[in-house]
Structure 1
Amino acid sequence: MASHGILLVDKPGGLTSHDVVARTRRAFGTRKVGHAGTLDPMATGLLVIGIEGATRLLTYIVGADKTYTATIRLGARTTTDDAEGEIVATADAAAWAHVDDAAVQRGIRALTGAISQVPSSVSAIKVGGRRAYDLVRSGEGVELAARQVTVSRFELLAQRRTDGFLDLDVVVDCSSGTYIRALARDLGDGLGVGGHLTALRRTRVGGFDVADAVGIDDLAGARTLTPAEAASRVLPVLHVTADEARDLRQGKRLVGQRDRLTASEVAAVDPDGALVGVVEARGHDIKSAMNIAEVQA
């Protein structure tokens, strides 16, 4: 039987997230595999993979905040807002005259905090049932609505000038749904020189870190986090008795117990350390929102 759990994979550049899922299916001998958040082929870093029953946890992981390291190239804009697209405009000397260190820092500050962001047109967002990037590649125009995101950290680590461009190495902490390519585009546009992403690495998803991930060639036999271990990294934990665990698994409520919850969604763990499921308040009671079968602990 395939493992039931969460696998952390360090995706290399050149592979799609679906490629990693396909390799995981082969390595673990199961079709029931999914991931919590796509990485572009150009990007590297952390993919959180769910296997068998633990795929049900992905819903609670995909919305976690994330950390990225990236390189933004100022001085050119591309069709995809990253290095895989064609350059459509480059900055001239007059545009660069207004770009100094202070201006770059002001631009970064303007894109920090709660901001309104228009996603890149080559994102995986669906428009009329089709992915935006498929529409763009087929030659159709795409206009995506702005969305509210939070960039809690946008920090410049290093910068260097090369061939008429200014490369910025940055680290970004952000809410789910933030597009780092769009940050690069908007920073360049705000400075009047254009910008795009040349490197991107995801280092953290919620309580999961790329330092704990396995390489793409080490999937076979890789250790997975149990559902309880994984859930405890993204949700508060409620320890329940064996009787309470049985009742929750059978769809019964814990009557009058809602005050035991510390958040709207909480991971219930039984005395054996197995994840019962995710529970929530229902009136004055506690009720399961999602159960994990006992054999998957």
Structure 2
Amino acid sequence: MAQAQPSGLLIVDKPQGVTSFDAVAAVRGALHIKKVGHAGTLDPMATGALVIAFGHATRLLNAIVAHDKTYEATIRLGLTTDTDDAEGAVHVDESIHSRWKELTKRHGEQGSWQTGTFWHDLLADTIASHFTGNIEQVPNTFSAIKINGQRAYDLAREGKDVELKARPVTVSEFSVLDVRAGVVTGKNAGEPLLEKDIASFPFDSAAGPDQSFCSSLNDHSVTSGDGESDPRGVDTVISVASTGLIPVLDVNVRISCSSGTYIRALARDLGMTLGVGGYLTRLRRTRVGRFALPDDASGLIAADAMQQTSAHTITAHTEAKTFVNREGERVTRNTCVLDTPAGLAGEERRAWVLGRALTMEQATRGAMPAVDITAEEAAELRFGRRIERVVPRDTQVAAIAPAPDDVSDDAPADVVAILERANAHQAKPVTVFPLA
């Protein structure tokens, strides 16, 4: 008799530079299982919690995808990109300078940026007024949403006009964690920030660069768009400040939101509301429903659940792999590699990864509400029959029975079925899981 394939769930801390599919492929390769999927895509730029299910647990993915999520991100205000994140081309809008000038004048009247709370208060007030609670959001044109069967990002890359309708989302938390003011050259969307008070930035080019601002940059490194960095003297900085430096704010935030919320769109819309433009430079997902990374600080799941999911997190890293494609071309691309203990390979590595997985019962209880049933009720459900249970409308619950009497005492519980309401007092199975 063939050995039953295992079922369960892993929380992979996806590294930057690989796709969610790459992470799924890494788990598939480690477990030697074909049936593997994930609950909610993370862009290559993003890092963090990717819930990956294997075996029968893949049937839970639709429920997990619908869970709310928590992200930590950095929003750069003062510039825009065509993708609303750091992977796009930078756009510099000269009209933004007048708005910056107005804001920094108000900022200067309220004290130094190092000690004052002007920027933090301005952002917090704007966010509270426009971006928390139930809001309408237009997704980014470079998104995976389908328009007449085609992905929006494919249409956008072809230069076609993409119009997406606003959709309702819920933002339960949008906290400003840190605000850093400074300047960039604007040549590269991912360019590091040179931190400086921008209240004295030379917004009026006709008046020439402000000497105090330029002098404040002396003995610091100005990073160019090609990533090179070198110390510059006052004279050089004056030239750069008058011809190329752009004032920006880098804002670290934590956002908890409903499924389907685009953090890139929040960055774009925050910048638009302030009149200075904005895009995302960093994105990390720390929580998907009750499945969270150890560094999640949202406080939205119980401590015991946090400890449970943290113990089942696997980190990963990116490695470049060179191969020959079907056309005979030599291609190098990033792959995702799970961080397993050194020296483990084959079945030992597979066993280690399985040891980090949530069991089918743990995965199910984390994915949806659950009801405990008897062995007799389990048998009825496996025949497709209804059982006496009250299930709320538009809700699915899992039916879990104790392990059969003829197995060991430490055997896992039996996840029998996913139920939905049949009538006021009965539930019916919509998905039945085979016996383990």
Q: Is the 8 A contact 1:237 1:266 kept in 2?
A: yes
Task: Measure how far apart 1:37 and its partner are.
Answer: 0.3
Q: Distance in 2 between matches of 1:195 and 1:116?
A: 18
Hey, which bits of structure 1, 4+ residues long, moved more than 4 A?
260-263
Q: Distance in 2 between matches of 1:71 and 1:157?
A: 10
Counterpart of 1:130 in structure 2 is 150
Task: Measure how far apart 1:49 and its partner are.
Answer: 0.7
- 1:271 and 2:402 equivalent? yes
Counterpart of 1:253 in structure 2 is 386
* RMSD of aligned alpha carbons: 1.7
Counterpart of 2:127 in structure 1 is 108
TM-score, scaled relative to structure 2: 0.65
- 1:3 and 2:103 equivalent? no
Q: Is the 8 A contact 2:391 2:420 kept in 1?
A: no
Q: Distance in 2 between matches of 1:291 and 1:240?
A: 14
Q: Distance in 2 between matches of 1:260 and 1:94?
A: 58
Mapping of residues 237-248 of structure 1, within 5 Å = 237-248=370-381
Task: Measure how far apart 1:249 and its partner are.
Answer: 1.6
Task: Measure how far apart 1:2 and its partner are.
Answer: 4.3
Unpaired runs of 5+ residues, structure 2, are 104-117, 184-246, 295-309, 317-337, 341-349, 404-412
- 1:203 and 2:286 equivalent? yes
Task: Measure how far apart 1:97 and its partner are.
Answer: 2.9
Task: Measure how far apart 1:262 and its partner are.
Answer: 9.6
Q: Which amino acid aligns with 1:9?
A: V
Q: Distance in 1 between matches of 2:124 and 2:14?
A: 31
Q: Is the 8 A contact 1:69 1:200 kept in 2?
A: yes
Q: Is the 8 A contact 2:140 2:264 kept in 1?
A: yes
2:315 counterpart (196, 203, 215): 215
Bigger drift between 39-48 and 129-138 goes to 129-138
Output one character per residue of 1:114-166: Cα deviation in whole Å (capped at 9) or x when no partner. 00000011111111112111221222221111100000000000000121110
Counterpart of 1:224 in structure 2 is 357
Identical amino acids, percent of aligned pairs: 49
Unpaired runs of 5+ residues, structure 1, are none
Task: Measure how far apart 1:291 and its partner are.
Answer: 1.7
1:93 counterpart (82, 97, 108): 97
Task: Measure how far apart 1:180 and its partner are.
Answer: 0.3
Structure 1 residues 260 and 194: alpha-carbon distance in aligned structure 2, compared to 1, 3 A threshold: closer
Q: Is the 8 A contact 2:391 2:421 kept in 1?
A: no
Structure 1 residues 45 and 235: alpha-carbon distance in aligned structure 2, compared to 1, 3 A threshold: same
Q: Which amino acid aligns with 1:106?
A: D
Q: Which has the higher strand share?
A: 1
Counterpart of 1:49 in structure 2 is 52
TM-score, scaled relative to structure 1: 0.94
